[in-house]
Structure formats: C-alpha cells, structure tokens
C-alpha cells in the first residue's frame, strides 16, 4: 500500500469496485479503511495468510511490493498456485518483470518507466495529451487536433491512408457542452480544439506526431 497501491485502491473503490487491501503496516491500512471493502493486516508472502483471507476468490490480484523483488515473486507464485484468475504485478526493472512473468504474473506494469515516457512524450509533442501502449507495438494517443486538420473531414485528413492510424473517437467542447463522438465516420469534420483519440502501431503513431 505505497503511493501506487493507495492510488489504485482509491480509484477502483471510487468506480464501485470491491477492493481488498493487504499490508503488514497498520498505518497504511488505516489510510484506506474508509473507502475500501476490506483492509487486512497480513504478510502477503505468507501462503497460509493469503488462503485464510480467501484471496483465491478475487477476480484480479495486483502485486505492488515496490523494490522488494523476493516478496513480489513469492506473492505472485502463491497467487498463481491458488488459481487466481488474473495477476497484475508492478515491476521496477525489466529483469524484475521477467522473473515475475515466469512465476505467474499475467500482466506487468512499470509505473516509473511509463510515467517517464509520458512526460518525455509531452515535452517533445505538446499536442499529445496522453499516450498509452495497449499491447506490444500498439498505442492509443489523445492528440489535440493540429491546425492543418481543422475544417477538414476525417477522409480528407487521410490519417489512415497516410499514416495507417485510425481515429476511434473525438472529444469535442461546444456551446451545448462536451460530447464524445465514438467511431466517427469519414465525413465527420474536425473542429478547432477537438481531441482526437487515435490507435495504431507505435511506429505509425510516432510518425503522425512528428509530421
């Protein structure tokens, strides 16, 4: 329940999810007790403690044990052996991630690396509001519509034919308030201030941002 775990638990709880937090530090648990379903003081590297909590019944288990690689590996291994449906593990280094995958993690997150990448992307491309890698080599990007796109239809802009990137949604602010146009058609005209949600390969998205 460090900064990453706290933020994750709080966001999930706010979205109506049932959240069980496990930590050996009672002070950290006290901080989340008011909004999570259950806060349990236990050692996540103790197999019997995890079984007693009933952790095998959860839909997703998230292992966030910071720099303690041994503890993260043990917790991941026990969760896998108990048959937890999906295990997401926080990794600090590529080697840490490889070990976690080999012991049962279905998915890895690298918060420090990914945040550093986002900050760098924002500095190099100020129009890019967010950049999320959804799978190896494939990204979703939120991009403020460049001036050269304004007043043109999606077909005329030609992001698909020129760059191999698809506009999957447009966030628009107008006199009537905010609206999101999902899967816009080729004749949809792009307005000034529109936020384009694009999906494509990492290489193609990068080419579009630099163009």
CA 147/CA 160 separation, integer angstroms: 18
CATH code of the domain covering residue 29? 3.40.50.720
For 33-54, the pLDDT digits (tens) are 999 999 999 999 999 999 999 9
Structure tokens at 39: 């806060």
147 and 96 co-located in one domain: no
The domain boundary, picked from 72, 93, 109, lies at 109
Q: Which domain holds residue 168?
A: 114-210
123 and 49 co-located in one domain: no
Into how many domains does the chain fold? 2
Residue 174 confidence (pLDDT): 76
Binned average pLDDT, 10 residues per bin, the chain of 211 residues: 90 92 93 93 92 92 86 93 93 88 91 70 57 68 87 91 89 84 92 89 77 65
23 and 68 co-located in one domain: yes
Structure tokens at 173: 């602010």
3-state class of 49 per DSSP?
Answer: helix
Q: HSE of 188 in the Cβ direction (CA atoms, 13 Å)?
A: 18
132 and 46 co-located in one domain: no
8 and 84 co-located in one domain: yes
CA 32/CA 198 separation, integer angstroms: 36
The domain boundary, picked from 75, 109, 143, lies at 109
11 and 104 co-located in one domain: yes
Query: Count of CB atoms within 10 A of residue 76's CB?
Result: 26
Structure tokens at 91: 């990794």
């Amino acid at each position: 329940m460090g900064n990453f775990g706290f933020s994750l638990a709080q966001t999930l709880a706010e979205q109506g999810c049932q959240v069980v937090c496990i930590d050996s530090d009672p002070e950290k648990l006290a901080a989340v007790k008011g909004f999570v379903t259950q806060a349990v003081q236990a050692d996540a590297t103790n197999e019997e403690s995890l079984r007693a909590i009933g952790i095998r019944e959860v839909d997703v288990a998230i292992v966030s044990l910071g720099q303690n690689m041994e503890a993260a590996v043990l917790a991941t291994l026990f969760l896998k052996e108990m048959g937890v449906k999906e295990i997401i593990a926080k990794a600090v280094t590529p080697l840490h991630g490889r070990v976690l995958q080999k012991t049962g993690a279905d998915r890895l997150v690298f918060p420090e690396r990914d945040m550093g990448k986002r900050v760098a992307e924002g500095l190099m491309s100020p129009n890019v509001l967010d950049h999320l890698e959804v799978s190896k080599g494939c990204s979703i990007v939120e991009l403020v519509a460049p001036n050269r796109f304004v007043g043109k239809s999606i077909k005329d802009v030609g992001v698909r034919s020129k760059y191999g990137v698809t506009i999957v949604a447009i966030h628009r602010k107008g006199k009537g308030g905010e609206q999101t146009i999902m899967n816009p058609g080729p004749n949809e005209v792009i307005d000034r201030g529109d936020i384009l949600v694009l999906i494509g390969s990492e290489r193609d998205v990068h080419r579009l941002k630099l163009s």
